[in-house]
Amino acid sequence: MEGQNTTQELTVQQAPAQTKSKNTVWRQLRKNKLSFFGLLVIVFFLLLAVFGPWIAPYPEDAGSNTKIEERLQSPSTEHWFGTDDMGRDIFSRVVIGTRVSLLVGVVAIFITMCIGIPLGAIAGYYGGKLDECVMRITDVFLAFPYLILAMAIAVILKPGLYSAMVAISLTWWPYYTRLVRGQALSLRNQSFVHAAKMMGAKNSHIIFRHILPNCIGPIIVNASLDMGLIILATASLGFIGVGAQPPMAEWGLMISTGREFFMTAPWMTFFPGLAIFLTVLGFNLLGDGLRDILDPQSRPR
Amino acid sequence: MQEKEMQTKPVLQVKGLKKYFEKKSMRGRVISSLKAVDDISFDVYPGESFGIVGESGCGKSTTAMMLSGLYSLTDGTITFNGVDISDFSNKAVKEERKKIQMVFQDPAASLNPRMKVRATLMEPFVIQGIKVDESKIDELLEIVGLSAAYKDRYPHELSGGQKQRIGVARALAMDPQVIILDEPTSALDVNVQAQIINLLEQIKEQKNLSYVLISHDLSVVKTVCRRVAVMYLGKIVEQGPVDEIFAAPKHPYTKALFSNIPVLDDEKREKIILEGDVPSPSKIPSGCRFHPRCWKAQEICKNEQPQMRDTGNGCCAACHFVEE
């Protein structure tokens, strides 16, 4: 790569043509079959989420529609996933429920990041007593199993989908604070941060230009892995009864109502469960793949 | 020429510089104290390269961090162009400090991996609120011997030597008077080292800069610097013009250090191999810090700290037995 300028004269090194493709992340993802499969699964569910009401054969079944004569039918060509205790088409409800689950995941992750990332960056960058305070607060939150804490918060906020979302965000942010804090802690001692300081850069400049952009990789990896977990947590809250309320078409809630009819109509729990399983699996596979690509420490050399 | 330069005022004056890393208990009592740099003084003149050499852990990098304002001082003063810049919480001092820039040891860590070369070189101007156009970036790249096409590269698309050139260009963007070179070549291949050294020499001539070169590579110091200070355990043990010190080191530590430089007629010379390891800076020996490893050590060395003594030809050394 270096030019042959070992002599005293200053020869200008010419840049050889760039060979690297810009879409390296995309290319590497294509190569990793498992995570590409994960991505396909997620894309599939995203399409369901967007076009759900048009795909579902009985979109009116999303709410409290009752067709007593059709209740508890087993899967057939008419009702692919069977019907539930109110006679509603489970396939339609699973498809329409995708939007709820994905939306909760995205919004909860967004709120989580909004709280967690700034706190982590500030704690890690400034260090000292501020860091100590923030970290002890995260310790308090992390001392409880997240589901128990989320349940408590959701109950206090009045059970419902929105409180479930808020409850999950409020229990989840410490993980992001810790992640970003750790990154910031090591980044603030990097020479390029020192150089910026010597140029008289403000702290805000350093945080926004140097610290945060270099945290993005691990944040994306974590977010994609957490999407699955958060969807699972929302379903769990729905199942317990402190999340989505009937008659909403929400996977966790659907499993919860199906529980009573488990012996006679197992399809009521099986298909929403399958949907949860597939989305969580998709996000986990994608997250694992992204970790290999974006996190240089785990990258095979 | 040496005489003339010495008459001018030093651009950088360091007096009694100290850095202790102290661990305090909850009540504020000092539990342990690590004396990384303990009372060092030196002057750097305009257009001069001043070298600081020593083993790893002798405090030379800490000194660089203090000069660059990244560490606060425990004690002592740093005077730059006649202005005391020791207290850098002061705003005016912050402005003044911008004329001291640094080139870092690890070229990979010295560039933000998410910023293209263009953004890296633009940054000094952005921070200062100066509007410049692309031609300024091209100009900086040209000074460090890179073509303008490099500005669209990310650091991972550059070689180690190229990254270091960008590091130099970034320092130059601030239009500095003094550049601190913290082991600028130790992470590079030998042939690239020579290129970077040549480049630094040329730039110094062009811009009339002063360098403070921190290195453990004695041959680099010998090529680049005019005067040198040898550090051992946070103290300067010997200081003076490079030629004098390399020709006739007076302090036993310097003698030992320089006797181990590989030369072609190696057999003719006796190597001094020191016994034992460098003591920990948190448990500094009494009296002369070097006495546990010194072959000349007497009773006085254990009890009394030697003062800097003039050894002629502009050199001075801190040893009780320099006259011998």
The pLDDT of residue A252 is 87
B272: closest CA of chain A, how far (Å): 34
- A276, pLDDT greater than 60: yes
- A226: helix, coil or strand? helix
Buried b (16+ CB within 10 A) or exposed e, A92-131: bbbbbbbbbbbebbbbbbebbbebbbebbbbbbbeeeeeb
Q: Full-prediction pTM beyond 0.80?
A: yes
Measured over the CA atoms of residue B116, residue B117, residue B118 and residue B119, the dihedral's sign is positive
Q: Which own/partner pairs from B3-10 qualify as long-range (CB within 8 Å, at least 24 positions apart)?
A: B5/B45, B5/B46, B5/B47, B5/B48, B6/B45, B8/B45, B8/B46, B9/B45, B9/B82, B10/B43, B10/B44, B10/B45, B10/B46, B10/B79
The pLDDT of residue A2 is 43
Q: How many CB pairs under 8 A join A and B?
A: 104
The pLDDT of residue A179 is 93
Span B98-109, pLDDT tens digits: 899 999 999 889
User: Are B109 and A195 a contacting pair at CB < 8 A?
Assistant: no
User: How does the average pLDDT of chain A come out, rounded?
Assistant: 85
User: Are A6 and B195 a contacting pair at CB < 8 A?
Assistant: yes
DSSP-derived pairing of the beta strands B227-232 and B210-215? unpaired
- CA gap A188, B68 in Å, rounded: 16
- CA gap A19, B153 in Å, rounded: 11
- CA gap B281, B297 in Å, rounded: 20
Q: How many residues does chain B have?
A: 324
From the list B297, B310, B44, B86, the residue with the least C-alpha distance to B178 is B44
Chain A residues in contact with B212 (beta carbon < 8 A): none
- CA gap A216, A293 in Å, rounded: 13
> How would residue A5 be classed by pLDDT, with cut points 50, 70 and 90?
very low
> How would residue B3 be classed by pLDDT, with cut points 50, 70 and 90?
very low
CB distance B195 to B165 below 8 Å: no
Residue of B nearest to A214 (CA): B114
The pLDDT of residue A297 is 54
B34: closest CA of chain A, how far (Å): 19
The pLDDT of residue B7 is 58
Span A41-50, pLDDT tens digits: 999 999 988 8
Pick the residue with more confidence: A149 or B268? A149
Residue of B nearest to A186 (CA): B109
Span A94-118, pLDDT tens digits: 898 898 888 888 999 999 999 999 9
A24's CB contacts (< 8 A; 6+ apart) are none
How large is the average pLDDT for residues A249-278?
A: 88
Residue of A nearest to B96 (CA): A200
Q: Structural domains in chain A?
A: 83-298 (1.10.3720.10)
DSSP state of A209: I
Percentage of chain B beyond pLDDT 90 is 32
How large is the average pLDDT for residues A64-86?
A: 79
**What is the separation of C-alpha A107 from the centre of its chain, rounded to a whole number of angstroms?**
9
DSSP-derived pairing of the beta strands B210-215 and B178-182? parallel
> How would residue A124 be classed by pLDDT, with cut points 50, 70 and 90?
very high
> How would residue A242 be classed by pLDDT, with cut points 50, 70 and 90?
confident
Interface confidence, given as ipTM, is 0.87
| Residue reference for tokens 């590079």 | B188
User: Are A194 and B199 a contacting pair at CB < 8 A?
Assistant: no
Q: Structural domains in chain B?
A: 2-99+176-317 (3.40.50.300)
- CA gap B202, A242 in Å, rounded: 72
From the list B181, B112, B213, the residue with the least C-alpha distance to A190 is B112
The pLDDT of residue B51 is 94
Facing B142 at nearest CB: one of A5, A12, A200: A12
How large is the average pLDDT for residues B168-194?
A: 91
B130's CB contacts (< 8 A; 6+ apart) are none
- CA gap B177, B173 in Å, rounded: 11
A116: closest CA of chain B, how far (Å): 22
Span B233-268, pLDDT tens digits: 889 999 999 988 888 888 888 888 888 777 666 566
Lowest mean pLDDT, pick from A241-245, B5-9, B50-54, B250-254? B5-9
Chain B residues in contact with A205 (beta carbon < 8 A): 127
